[in-house]
Amino acid sequence: MDKYLAQFKHKISTKKIKTAVVGLGYVGLPLALAFAKKGVKVIGIEIDKDRLTKIRSRKSYITDISDKELCAGLDSGRFSASGTFDCLAETEVIIICVPTPLKRKFYPNITYIKEAVKSIAKKIKKGSLVILESTTYPGTTNEVILPLLEDAGLVHNRDFYLCFSPERIDPGNERYPVEKIPKIVGGISPEAASLAALVYKNIIEEVVPVTSARAAEFAKLLENTFRLVNIALIDELTMMAKKMGIAIWEVIDAAKTKPFGFMPFYPGPGVGGHCIPKDPLYLYWKARNSGFVSRFIKLASDVIAFMPEYVVGRAEEELEARGIRLSKSKVLVIGVTYKKDVLDLRQSPSLDIIEVLRQKGCAVSYHDPLVPFLKVERIDLKSVPLKKDILSGFDCVIIAADHSSLDYNLILKNSRLIFDTRRVYKGRNDLKVALL
Ligand code: SAJ
């Protein structure tokens, strides 16, 4: 092993290196603070001025990070935030955690990755390790990032080392903080992979090396495609069971007693978040460009996209059974985030439910303890208070996100009809509670 590499590895293992984390979102900020907590100096590079202001005023904007944890990082002197890439002159590890949205359905948008890499290429300290964490299609690291750095006159395995290591944050899951989630690492070269493995060994108990960046990119997409397809499957079986007059929840509870070869998934109002509805479409796009059309991904994506409409259709059925026309009804949607206890509206099915209800002429309101105001797309609403006289004023209450802080007894006692998409009333056979 050449002398530089040996020295680099020693500096990483003894935490003598400085790390830059590009993008301080739900992935980058917890990662940066995890490094700082373990004694590694980290500079977070964040172009969003609002976020920078919040960090400097010692306020966290990420659900999973408390102000206290943010302040601990800042006060330790090992975490700071910057709005520019100038700090790369003193860092030797650069981890990219920027968003990878869709241009439109089935079309990746890796602009944020490209912009970050172009900025890095201008300021990188020669010999640095660059790691991409953003979820993307297999081949991005080899086919996009490597050429961008080489076009800047940099030579791999000399001026930079390049790796992919997928982020695996599960928002709202306290059982698995960053340090407890095994970390896959795949390099453009074995040297790059070995450096990245050492970087993560400073903060994560288990590092899982694979033989290439492509394998690491694909592993992440396998994980999230697995979830998308299985959630879509249970959503479809829920619609099927309803037609057959069978309660799907009881079926799931029975099936999950099987101690092997089964993993329960639960029907919901649709699939939201920044990952599950989107990441598999990156794989679909790359596969199609490689001459393979994934019917599973396409079908699963279509099934989950239909769920909000299905929910409104079911609510309409329940109202009509009580002699109320949906178009003349008042409906309260409870929970507008994409899943319980996580302040994140991205791709939230609740927003689609509100849209569909409105298109059907409904008077729609919402309540969400995490979201006092809802101003997205064509929605501009204020969360109504959860009070008995307000609840009783609605023809139907749809529970779309089952936040732990909600008073479900108050809702049950004072609502006329509850459409419970999350089975919060498990085991309470109350005529006013309808299920998917
Ligand atoms: N959902 C269902 N039924 C289920 C499970 C989930 O309807 O049985 C819905 C949820 O309500 C939510 C959506 O699917 O709207 C996504 O939920 P999720 O928890 O699977 O996804 P995320 O985006 O919050 O977190 C996921 C991680 N979750 C888990 O592994 C449990 C994981 O897939 C990724 O590590 C992470 O996104 C990521 O960053 O990719």
Per-residue DSSP letters for 281-333?
Answer: HHHHHHHHHTT---HHHHHHHHHHHHHHHHHHHHHHHHHHHTT--GGG-EEEE
For 342-398, write each residue's pLDDT tens digit.
999 999 999 999 999 999 999 999 999 999 999 988 899 999 999 999 999 999 999
Ligand 1 atom nearest residue 342's Cα = 24
Distance CA 19, CA 8 (A): 13
CA dist 388 → 407, 408, 416 (Å): 11, 12, 11
**From atom 1 of ligand 1, which residue's Cα is the shortest distance away?**
271
Torsion of CA 135, 136, 137, 141, to 10 degrees: -110
So what's the pLDDT on residue 1?
58
Cα of 154 from ligand 1 centre, angstroms: 38
Using the atom order of ligand 1, give the atom closest to the CA of residue 269: 7
- Please give the distance, rounded to the nearest whole angstrom, from the Cα atom of residue 270 to the centre of ligand 1: 11
Give percent of the chain above pLDDT 70. Answer: 100
| SS3 category, 70 | helix
Residue 171, pLDDT above cutoff 80 = no
Task: List pocket residues of ligand 1, CB cut-off 6 Å.
Answer: 135, 167-171, 224, 227, 231, 265-266, 268, 271-273, 275-276, 338-339
Ligand 1 mutation pick, 173, 176, 227, max ligand atoms within 8 A of CB: 227
Q: For a substitution probing ligand 1, which of 176, 228, 263, 271 has the most ligand atoms within 8 Å of its CB?
A: 271
Atom index in ligand 1 nearest the CA of residue 173 equals: 31
Pairing of strands 160-164, 93-96: unpaired
Q: In angstroms, what is the span from residue 401 Cα to ligand 1's centroid? A: 13
Q: Could you tell me the distance, in angstroms and rounded to a whole number, from the CA of residue 45 to the centre of ligand 1?
A: 27
CB 428 within 8 A of CB 413: no
Q: Is 275 a catalytic residue?
A: yes
Question: Contact at 8 Å (CB) between 149 and 117?
Answer: yes
pLDDT band at 212 (very low <50, low <70, confident <90, very high): very high
Position 271 pLDDT exceeds 90: yes
pLDDT tens digits along 146-158: 999 999 999 999 9
pTM surpassing 0.75?
yes
Task: Give pLDDT, residue 54.
Answer: 97
Question: Which of 87, 97, 163, 275 is the catalytic position?
Answer: 275
User: What is the average pLDDT score of the chain?
Assistant: 96
Exposed e or buried b for every residue in 400-421, given b needs 16+ CB within 10 A?
Answer: bbbbeebebeebbebbbbbbbb
- Rounded to the nearest angstrom, the distance between the alpha carbon of 276 and the centre of ligand 1 is 6
pLDDT for 427 equals: 81
Residue ID of nearest Cα to ligand 1 atom 31: 170
How far away, in angstroms, is 338 Cα from ligand 1 center? Answer: 9
Pairing relation of β-strands 183-187 and 160-164?
antiparallel
CA nearest neighbour of 100 among 88, 91, 109:
109
Q: Is the pLDDT of residue 236 over 90?
A: yes
pLDDT one-digit tens code per residue, 31-43:
999 999 999 999 9
